[in-house]
Amino acid sequence: MLSIEETCRFLRKSSFFACSSEETVMSLAHYSETIQIPAGEKLFETGEIGTAMYFVVDGCVRIHKDDVVITHLGREEVFGEVAALSHEVRTASVTAEMDTILLKLEQDAIYKTLTAHPGAARCIIQALCRRESEIIGEKVERLIKAKVMERELDIGQKIQRNFLPEVIPEIEGWHMSGLLQPARKVAGDFYDFFIVPKPHCVGIVIGDVCDKGLGAALFMTLFRSLIRSISVYRNVVETHSEHDDVINTLRHAIALTNKYIASTHASSSMFSSVFFGLLVPETGQLCYINAGHEAPMIIGPSGIRQLLTPTGPVIGLFEEAEHEVGMAEILPGELLFGYTDGATDAQNELGEQFTEERLQSIVGNGARNDKAFLNRMFSAVEGYIGSADQFDDITMICVHRETGTHR
Amino acid sequence: MSAALRIAVSEEKGNVPVTILHVTGDVDSKTYMDLESKASEVISAGASNILLDLSGVNYMGSAGLRALHGIVNKLKSSGGGKMKLLNPSDAVSRVMFTLGFDKFFDIHKNLDEAVKAF
C-alpha cells in the first residue's frame, strides 16, 4: 500500500498527470487504490467493459489478444486509459507476468477531479494525443513491414509453385493430376509426378511436412527435390530383373532422403510423411513405400479395393528407420487416390472433423475422369469446411488407368 | 480452437530419479513450444530421465510429435538422457502408430513400470 505522498510522487512521473497542479495530483492520489496481482493472473479481457486505468508501480504486465503478445509494460507505464476515459470496451487483455503492484484509478474519480480542476484536462489531452501519435507511428511502421513481408511471401509462393510438377507426364492409357490448396501463403504439403528413365517407370509422390508455414515450406522443397533427384539421376546398378531395379530405386531414394535430413538437419526435428510409388505403366504394377502417410486407396468398380497402408515411419527424423516395399496393381478402369491429413482433419464451423471414414464413404466406384474426381473430392471437403478456417494444407492426387488398357 | 496446455511436474524415484511431466490439453502447432520450453527447463535444472505423461492429451498434431523429437535432441545435447511416454490416448496412439513413432519411443501403460524401466 503506497502512502498519499508516494502515490503523488508516482503520479507525477506519469505523462498523464506530469503537468497537473499539486491539488489535482493530490485529489487523484486520494481516489487511487493500490492493488496487487499475482504472476499469471488476468486483470481483464478483450471486450470487457472497463472503468479504470492503471499505473504499473512494480512488476510487469503482458498486453495480449489470446496467445498473441502485443507488448509488455513495466514500472511507471500506463494502460487501460481508453476504456477509463470513454465508454469503449477493453481493446486487449492484460495478464501479470510476475507479481505486480498497480495503482488503479476509476473513471468516476478521474472525472470528479477534472470537474474540480479543469486545468488537468489539458495535461490528459496532451498525453492522449502523444499516445495516439505514437500508436499511429507504430501502426504505419508495422504496416510497411507487413507489406514487405507479404511481398516476400508472394515471391516465395511463386517459387514454391515451381516445386510442384508444372507438366504432368503424358503416358498412354493413364491420366494423372494433383491439387494443393495451401492453408497459408506457402505450404508444407507436396506432390510430384515424374518419369524415371531407368528402370522405366513413373514416380508418384504425395507428402506432408510436419507443422505448417514457412519452416514446413522450406523443408517441403528439400524433401521433394531429394526424392526426385535421387530417383531420376542415380546410376542404377542393374540387376537382371527390372522389378528388382524398381524396388532398389524406391528404397534408395527414401533411405538417402531420410538419412540426409535426419543427420544434416537433426536439430530442426522436421519430418515428412511421404507416399512414394513407382508405377510401371505397361503392367499397372505399383511398388511403393508409405512412410507414415495416410493410406492412398485403389478404387475399382466395387469401391475401395486396396488401402496402401504405411510400410515404415515418417522420414527425416530417425536415421535408423527402415521401410518395407509394398506391392499393388492398378487394374484397367481403376484409380489411385492419395491425400494429406488436411482433408480428413478439416473442420466445419462446429469444430467437427471431416474424418477418414467420411472421405472413404464418398469416393464412390468405377471409372471416372481423374480431374473431375479430384474436383469432386475437394469440393466435398471445401463444402464441409464452409465458412470455418482452413487450418492445414489440403493436397490430393489421382492416377487413373483407362479401361481400354490391357497387359 | 485448441485446448490450452497445462504441464505439471513431479518426481519419482525408481532405479534413478525420474522427472514426470504431466501434460494436459492439445499439443499442436500453437502449444508445442510450451511443452518444449517446460522440458528444456527441467533438463537445464538437471533432469536426465523424463517421463511424459500423455494421459491428459486428447490431440497431438505433427508439431507435437516434432516437440517429442526436440526433447530427445535436447537430452542428447545436455549430456545424454532418456525420455519415455506414459499412457497416450487412443487417438494419440493412432497418430504415433501411423507415423511410425511407436517404434522409436518407449511407451508404457503403467506409471510404476514406466519409472522402473529407466
In angstroms, rounded to a whole number, what is the distance separating the alpha carbons of residues A289 and A246? 12
In angstroms, rounded to a whole number, what is the distance separating the alpha carbons of residues A262 and A272? 11
Asked if A378 reaches chain B (Cβ–Cβ under 8 Å), the answer is no
Q: Is A395 exposed, middle or buried (0-12, 13-18, 19+ CB in 10 A)?
A: buried
Distance from CA of B18 to the nearest CA of A (A): 24
**pLDDT of residue A299 exceeding 60:** yes
The fold for domain B6-116 equals: Transcription Regulator spoIIAA (3.30.750)
Tallying the residues shown for chain A, one arrives at 407
Q: Which chain B residues touch A317 with a CB distance below 8 Å?
A: 69, 104
In angstroms, rounded to a whole number, what is the distance separating the alpha carbons of residues A48 and A137? 26
Q: Which residues pair with A55 in a beta bridge?
A: A78, A103
- Short-list B71, B70, B60, B68, CA closest to B29: B60
Q: Which regions of chain A carry the CATH code 2.60.120.10?
A: 4-138
CB contact under 8 A, B65 and A271: yes
Q: What is the pLDDT of residues A82-103, one digit of tens each?
A: 888 887 888 889 999 999 999 9
pLDDT score at A407: 47
Q: Which chain B residues touch A210 with a CB distance below 8 Å?
A: 62-63, 65-66
Between the alpha carbon of residue A389 and those of residues A345, A385, B95, the distances in Å are 12, 7, 23
List the CATH code of the domain at A4-138. 2.60.120.10
List the CATH code of the domain at A162-401. 3.60.40.10
Question: To 5 degrees, how large is the angle CA B33–CA B39–CA B42?
Answer: 145
Cα dihedral angle (B109, B110, B111, B114), rounded to 10 degrees? -70
Which among B29, B73, B99 has CB closest to A314? Answer: B99
C-alpha cell at A381: 471437403
Strand blocks (E) in A215-284: 272-280
Tallying the residues shown for chain B, one arrives at 118
Backbone angles phi, psi at A114, to 5 degrees: -65, -35
Interface with B, mutate which of A209, A317, A320, A345 (most B CBs under 10 A):
A317
Asked if B69 reaches chain A (Cβ–Cβ under 8 Å), the answer is yes
Low-confidence stretches of chain B (pLDDT beneath 70)? 1-3
ipTM over 0.90: no
This prediction's pTM: 0.77
In angstroms, rounded to a whole number, what is the distance separating the alpha carbons of residues B108 and B110? 6
Asked if B109 reaches chain A (Cβ–Cβ under 8 Å), the answer is no
Identity (one letter) of the amino acid at A390? Answer: Q
Q: What is the pLDDT of residues A25-78, one digit of tens each?
A: 888 888 899 999 999 999 999 888 888 999 999 999 999 988 788 889 998 888
In angstroms, rounded to a whole number, what is the distance separating the alpha carbons of residues A342 and A327? 26
Q: Which residue of B has its CA nearest to A68?
A: B30
Q: Which chain A residues touch B67 with a CB distance below 8 Å?
A: 269
Mark which residues 196-225 of A lie under 8 Å from B by CB. Answer: 208, 210-212
Residues A60, A61, A67, A69, CA torsion sign? negative
Backbone angles phi, psi at B104, to 5 degrees: -115, 0
**pLDDT of residue A117 exceeding 60:** yes
